[in-house]
Structure 1
């Protein structure tokens, strides 16, 4: 066994804007909480560290105060060698931390002789960390944000824990460079994706547990999207409420219907008519209360392979449970599936039990009267293509 000294920093506000359809948390955390959003970052990190509670003697931490790391580690019984001193604020209260706190904590990590920086957040948090460490120290992100384009994150919290377990066991030693990317959230909320490369960081080399960089794959396949859309629209039942997920692939369905589309949000359609646009988790649950038949149409994030947990947090565990796996329809071009190079679709709802239940094979619409079967995995369960 190897002893691992980890620098842990948590962005407590990460992901707050997802469930309330704000498509991010930068500068809107207070608004998100006013709309009923609940912080999930602590829960995500706890899920990652749960598998490591039997390795306490082989793990020690340097961390930030309060909700930025100290509180969770203490509650789980991990050894904390040092709590970084930041500003004179009560970091045990939500909303007190800032990006500058993250950067100051990481600066202290670089002087503390740590082996790995473990962090929870989204692309903004990755940017903050990259601005300090660059490629000096290996990092591993626990996905907790709304938009995660960067390739420095584990595919889900459980995968992060499994990867650390491998490092302690001496099974994993290599690292590779991975891109840190972020988008303009103001433009994002207007339906425009403007991504930019901010640098690279080193991540543990384990392709099964670390996600790939988000990439597109539809520009050369517009005719295929038209075929997929025609198939979906032709088979729509007038009595069913359809939840249309985010992305350019599902947008083709709305175009086929002649309806306005929220490119980066979730829309509702029934009897070929728009029922509601850019809905939140609460609004989805309300519609599920009043509809007897509901189906979800979602696509696959190119390169990464995620179907849940990246940019569609409105589709919460409660929403997905109410729907049932049998009412989930996945659409994707064959080119996008081939770009996964044999990796399964990834499921990261934030609920490990649900993720496990959603594992298995899915029928995926890939064209007009054309479909394939493809496996989905929580990143832990071994589902072979």
Structure 2
């Protein structure tokens, strides 16, 4: 008689062939992947203590989201470019040119804002196609092409605007950048916290439920295929921690002026691009191109097409960021977008993207962007000088890249 296997540290499930199997419990803590979230938490705690809690005040949290939303939009496109092994230095100038183009259409030509918005996004796509052609099909390095684009599109912005700004923008465009969801339901009492919009609370609960469902389904799928999973306590912690953070943010926003429209837009973008990178063939091709270009080519990946469409996508997102930024200021100015490319690149690298390409996540880039936003906001609350803020951001960026290089060398040495 064969002895039954021990149940300690394992779970029983069915493998892909329907037979009973064992899914071992294994503590899976990747410092490289998890370090960015720990860093964000530590930075938030440090600035919360330093500002006496003002950093996490409802109005200030809303300000962080609204004020840095365009950087987060740019970071989504930038991390995909970096994963593929390229860079885009022109996004700040594209933001300015797109804002100027939209202002001419909406303000001077009085086109209906939906048509003007679609035309502006198409304008960004054309810019991305222009740069993508030179990189993908002509073979010029992306650094050179987008450096030239930085100058070209800034010059186009000055050509359109001269030394003046154009505004104001239509109310609907301003609402996208600065507006909040209306209180569709009555407020709900939260005891010492006061009242909060019930609709926003319901949205937050639905988001948390979706997060829990996805993680639970992923865990069960791994068990069915007899793959290692986290112990129950660690899985619960990984589910509970982000759920608490999401609900805290939603409650604070609901106590102020409800959910910013731009936050809803960002949520849609994050979910959409995460699905593309994790589930779609195109997403896997992006990682293949950045991870090993020669292997991707031999595997039949249309490398030139992938790179071309990545730059088209970056152009569209830069135009969207330009619309948000111009709507927030209610003005299209010739100096808009200055240094935005640096913040977007920093967000991607701080968020875990590898310098060599092939590594990175959309959620990581968003987290990196939030780190930059929290530093900027917290520094403003504390009255730091500009040079101090620049110094801290530089140290954080250098530290993130140094950690990436160190972890790669450590992994290679372990092998």
State the structure with more CA Rg: 2
TM-score by length of 1: 0.24
Structure with greater helix percent: 2
TM-score normalized by structure 2? 0.22
